[in-house]
Amino acid sequence: MRFLLRTSYGQDIRLFPFGGAPALWTGLALWAAIVGGLNVASLPLVREGWLALAAGYALVFGLVLSRWGGAAFWYGLLGVAVIVAPMLVGTYFVGQLTFVFVYAIAGVGLVILLGLAGQISLGHAAFFACGAYVAAILNAEGWDILVSLPAAVLVSAVLGVVIGLPALRMTGIYLGFATYAFAFIVEEILARWDSVTNGTLGIAVGSPVLGYESWGWQAVLETEVELYFLALALFVGTLVVGLNVQRSPTGRAMMAIRDSETAAASMGVNLAVTKTTAFALSAAMAGLAGALYGHVLHFISPEQFTILLSINLLVMMIVGGLGAMHGAVFGAVFLVMMPQAISALKGAMPPAEGLPEVLAFLVSLPSAPGFEAGIYGLIIILFIIFEPMGLHGLWLKVKTWFRLFPLYKKGMFKRQKSYMASERNR
C-alpha cells in the first residue's frame, strides 16, 4: 500500500517510504504532537518547544523525501520552510502567510471549477461568506472547529449544488451573470437578516477552539502562530484533495467537459453530475477558506463579501494560472502581497510640492483613487496577452530554460549545420 501524490506533470510522489502501516502510525504520532502542543500552547516555553519539535519532524521528513530526488526533494524542503517560517519572521509576516493559505484554499477550488471543468463563477464571494458566517455563528454557540469547520464546508457545498443545478443549461457569460446574481442575493440576505447575521453591523468572531472543557482539555487558538499552523494544515489537506480529484476519473470527466461538452457526452460523461460536483467541491473549499478568514480577522460583515471579492479571486487565478494547483498558490501570494507593494510604492514617493507639473502628477498618481484597481486591470491585460498560463506558466518556462541552458542552443546549432550539410550533398 502506497500513499501517492500526482503532480501536475504526471509525476508520482510517495508520501511515506515504508508502506501503509508505518504511514498510519507516523500520521497518528504527528497528530498527537499537534494536539498536545495546542493543549499547552498557552505556555510560551512549551509552545516554542513544540514548534522546534515540528521543525525537526519536517526536517527528517524532507530528508526522507530526498531519497527520490527531483521534485520530491524540493517539496520536502518547501515543507521544512513553511513549518519553520514562524520562528524566522515577525508576527506581521506570519499573518500575511496565513492569508496566503486562506486564499490558496479557495484557489484550489477555483482550479477545479475553472481550470478542470471550465465553468466560470462570479459568485464565489457568496460561498466565502456562507462559510465565514456559519463558522462564526457556531463558534459563538460554543462549538469547536471539529464541528464548525465541517458545517461551513457542508453548507457551502449544498449552496454549490443549488447554484450548479440551474447553471447546467448555461455557459459562458450567461453562467457568469447567474452566479453573480446568486452572490448579490446572498449579500442582501446577510445585510438584512438582522436576527441571525446582525445585518450591516457585522459579527465579532471569536478565536477557534479545539476540544471542550467537559472532555478535560480545551485549546483556544489565539496567537498568529497557532492560526498559521491551522491554516497550513487545512491548506495541505485541501491540496491533497484537489490533486487526487485532478487525477481521478471525475477530474478526467471535468477536463473532457472543459474541452468539449458534446464530445464528453458522446463518451458517456454525465454532464449534470460532473458539473454539479465541480460546483460543490469548489464551493466547499471556498466555504472552508471563508471560515478561516473570519477566524483570522475576528470580524465579518456583508461589506467584505461583495462582487469585488469574487473579482479578486478571479484575478488571483488568472495571474497564478488556471492550469495547475500551483497556480492557486502563486495567485494567493500575488493577491496578498500586491496591496503591500502598492502601499510601499506610495510611501516611497517623494513630496509633490516644488516639482514640475508632469513629475508632480506621476508622484501623486499612486495615491489617486482607483490606482490599485487600475494596476490590477493592467496586470490582467498583460498576463492575458503575454502569459495566458499565468505565473505557473512563467515558472515552467524558467525551469525549462535552466534545465536546458546552454545545451539547447548548441543542439539547435548542430542540427542546423547537419541540415545544411545534407542539403549541400544533394
Q: What is the pLDDT of residues 148-182, one digit of tens each?
A: 899 999 999 998 888 878 767 777 778 888 888 88
Q: Tell me the pLDDT tens digit for each residue of 356-414.
A: 777 777 777 777 777 777 787 888 888 888 888 888 888 888 777 766 665 555 444 45
Percent of the chain with pLDDT over 90: 12
Contact between 112 and 282 (Cβ < 8 Å): yes
- 418 with 275, same domain: the answer is no
Chain-centre distance for alpha carbon 324 = 11
Task: Report the run of H or E that residue 280 belongs to, with start and end.
Answer: helix 271-297
Is residue 61 located within the same domain as residue 163? no
Query: Would you say 333 and 100 are in contact if contact means Cβ atoms under 8 Å apart?
Result: yes
pLDDT at 37 exceeding the cut of 70: no
Phi first, then psi, for residue 419 (nearest 5°) are -65, -45
Question: Which of 78-82, 114-118, 131-135, 354-358 shows the highest mean pLDDT?
Answer: 131-135
Measured in whole angstroms, how far is the alpha carbon of residue 331 from the centre of its chain? 8
Among the residue ranges 29-33, 50-54, 372-376, the one predicted with the least confidence is 29-33
In this predicted structure, which of 10-14, 244-248, 270-274, 282-286 has the lowest mean pLDDT?
10-14
Structural domain contains residue 375: no
| Closest to 65 measured CA to CA, from 134, 110, 3 | 3
Whether residue 414 sits in one domain with residue 280: no
Residue-wise pLDDT for 239-256, tens only, equals 989 888 888 888 899 899
Domain boundary (88, 107, 137) is at 88
Task: Work out whether the CA dihedral 27, 29, 30, 35 comes out positive or negative.
Answer: positive
| Listed residues 348, 380, 409: the one ending a domain | 348
Read off the pLDDT of each residue in 37-53 and give the average, rounded to a whole number: 49
Domain identity same for 21 and 100? no
Residue 284, pLDDT above cutoff 90: yes
